[in-house]
């Protein structure tokens, strides 16, 4: 996405298709469907209102009792169930989420299913299914996002390159094995400032952690490591440190041919 007045483009990662995302029960997104059942209201591509019913199992959860509904989790479960008409409506709901983010300028669509289930196997199955499903619905590459490396691997195994290289979100000092996964699947990867035992406590730790991660990433991607030879690498390191020192929450995107440094601001749309 190119922003007026800025020389460089932003890389926009749409993060709405996460099972953590909620709508409020007393908000405008929740209504009563024609059958009298409480439901998530959404607009189709034609502008017509449609309804995704809120099942009994959701109404028994603590989130629901406290006024929150995890609508993306609901849509994924409905679509995966195969039970009509909710399966079709779940698919339609996800398609609209993907379309709106792409039209708003997303360069990647980030997928996260960590709260689809407490069972790791079900998380992996859901990620595999969701990647296969969403990449059929959109024209931009996917970003596979999870706190569990095995879930990320399941998603990357389902990715194809029809819309460009996918993105692994993310690698850090506490899980360096994610870099090997990115190399294996020939994907780009976000590296973050998280340390071996959690988030950094100050700017100095953030800069140090990301600098170490970029060095690890350069070593993991031979093409980039070759380009950053002994004569150019010190200059690159100085530039990296300068840029990181200007970022309040630094992260980097690494591919086999490039390293980009970004301030890690998150917005949803």
150-153's contacts with Cβ under 8 Å and 24+ in sequence apart are 150/120, 150/124, 151/113, 151/114, 151/120, 151/123, 151/124, 151/127, 152/127, 152/178, 152/181, 153/181
The single-letter DSSP state of residue 104 is T
| pLDDT in the model for residue 64 | 97
Q: Supply the DSSP string of 204-243, one letter for each residue.
A: HHHHHHHHHHHHHHHHH-HHHHHHS-TTTHHHHHHHHHHH
| pLDDT in the model for residue 193 | 84
Q: Which of 143, 51, 46, 138 is nearest to 101 (CA)?
A: 138
CA distance between the termini of the chain: 14
Q: Which of 102, 103, 105, 79 is nearest to 92 (CA)?
A: 79
Q: Which of 46, 58, 51 is nearest to 22 (CA)?
A: 58
| pLDDT in the model for residue 191 | 86
The pairing of strands 188-192 and 167-171 is: parallel
Q: Which of 212, 20, 5, 219 is nearest to 112 (CA)?
A: 20
CA-to-CA distance for 97 and 269, rounded, in angstroms? 10
107 in helix, strand or coil? coil
Find out whether 107 and 12 touch, Cβ atoms under 8 Å.
Answer: yes
Q: Supply the DSSP string of 35-74, one letter for each residue.
A: TS-EEEEEE-TTS-EEEEE--HHHHTSHHHHTTEE-HHHH
- The pLDDT tens digits along the chain (269 residues) read 655 655 657 789 999 999 999 999 999 999 999 999 999 999 988 889 999 999 999 999 999 999 999 999 999 999 999 999 999 999 999 999 999 999 999 999 999 999 999 999 999 999 999 999 999 999 999 999 999 999 999 999 999 988 899 999 999 999 999 999 999 999 999 888 888 988 888 888 888 888 898 888 888 876 554 443 444 444 444 445 555 555 555 565 655 444 454 444 443 33
**pTM of the model as a whole:** 0.85
């Amino acid at each position: 996405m190119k922003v007026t007045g800025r020389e460089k483009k932003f890389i926009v990662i749409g993060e709405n298709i996460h099972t953590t995302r909620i709508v409020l029960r007393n908000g405008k997104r929740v209504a009563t469907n024609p059958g009298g059942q409480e439901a998530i209201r959404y607009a189709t591509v034609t502008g017509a209102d449609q309804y995704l019913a809120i099942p009994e199992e959701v109404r028994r959860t603590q989130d629901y009792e406290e006024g929150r509904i995890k609508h993306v989790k609901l849509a994924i479960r409905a679509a995966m169930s195969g039970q009509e008409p909710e399966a079709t409506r779940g698919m339609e709901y996800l398609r609209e989420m993907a379309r709106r983010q792409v039209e708003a300028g997303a360069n990647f669509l980030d997928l996260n299913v960590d709260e689809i289930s407490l069972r790791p196997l079900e998380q992996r199955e859901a990620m595999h299914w969701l990647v296969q499903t969403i990449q059929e619905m959109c024209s931009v590459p996917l970003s596979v996002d999870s706190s569990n490396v095995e879930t990320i691997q399941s998603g990357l195994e389902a990715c194809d390159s029809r819309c460009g290289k996918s993105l692994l979100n993310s690698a850090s000092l506490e899980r360096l094995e994610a870099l090997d996964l990115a190399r294996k699947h020939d994907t780009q990867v976000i590296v973050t400032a998280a340390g071996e035992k959690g988030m950094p406590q100050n700017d100095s730790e953030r800069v140090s952690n990301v600098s170490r991660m970029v060095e690890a990433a350069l070593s993991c991607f031979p093409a980039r490591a070759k380009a950053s030879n002994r004569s150019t690498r010190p200059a690159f390191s100085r530039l990296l440190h300068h840029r990181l020192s200007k970022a309040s929450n630094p992260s980097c995107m690494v591919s086999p041919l490039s390293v980009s440094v970004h301030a890690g601001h998150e917005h949803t749309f």
